[in-house]
Amino acid sequence: MLKILKNIIVKYFKREVSMSNRIYIGNDHSAVEMKQAIVKHLQEKNYEVIDLGNNDGKSCNYAKIGQVVAEHVVNDTNSRGIVICGTGIGISIAANKVKTARAALVYEKETVELARIHNDANILALGARIIAISKAINLVDVFLNTPFEGGRHIERVNTLNEYKN
């Protein structure tokens, strides 16, 4: 049944259904502790986590990390990404420079849900200095468990994906 639904979605909506459990994650020096907690949580849930971030807490360039995560996500279309810096702002801007990356900076459950439902966000951006680790883990779960609604949102997401500088 799942395969039939997937084929219908791909045929009529020209969208692939995300089936991967692969998560690319990256962080700067301010978010090592949060990243490590999220990685542990995801591994306990049997996700394949590819860590592209900072692990030693030494100052690093969040922009490069955001772009590297985004490049991996867009080249592995059934995957998702998580990027974390102090506020989430800089790293989300960097990730969104990569064509077809749709990084959503979120602080609340409702914004995560809408980012997935309406925008088909493929990257979650978090601020380690803004939200608690426990809340970040909850937001990650919402991000990974909320499907894209499709329908009228497909044309809008396709417009985002086709945009060129």
Say what the pLDDT of residue 69 is: 99
For the annotated catalytic residues, the residue numbers are 85, 118
Residue list, annotated binding site: 28-29, 86-90, 119, 129, 152, 156
Say what the pLDDT of residue 11 is: 46
Strand 22-27 and strand 48-51: pairing?
Answer: parallel
Q: Where are the beta strands (DSSP E) in the chain?
A: 22-27, 48-51, 80-85, 103-105, 123-127
For the chain, which residues make up each domain, given as ranges? 20-154
Say what the pLDDT of residue 6 is: 53
Residue list, annotated binding site for D-ribulose 5-phosphate: 28-29, 86-90, 119, 129, 152, 156
Q: How far apart are CA 65 and CA 105, in angstroms?
A: 15
Say what the pLDDT of residue 165 is: 58
Q: Which residues contact 51 (CB under 8 A, 6 or more apart)?
A: 25, 26, 35, 39
- Residue 44 amino acid letter: E
Q: What are phi and psi of 128, to 5 degrees?
A: -70, -25
What is the sign of the dihedral through the CA atoms of 102, 108, 48 and 82?
positive
20-154 has which fold? Ribose 5-phosphate Isomerase B; Chain: A, (3.40.1400)
**Per-residue pLDDT in tens (0 to 9) along the chain, 165 residues:** 555 555 445 444 545 455 479 999 999 999 999 999 999 999 999 999 999 999 999 999 999 999 999 999 999 989 999 999 999 999 999 999 999 999 999 999 999 999 999 999 999 999 999 999 999 999 999 999 999 988 888 888 888 888 765
Q: Confirm if 97 and 67 have CB atoms less than 8 A apart.
A: yes
Q: Confirm if 111 and 83 have CB atoms less than 8 A apart.
A: no
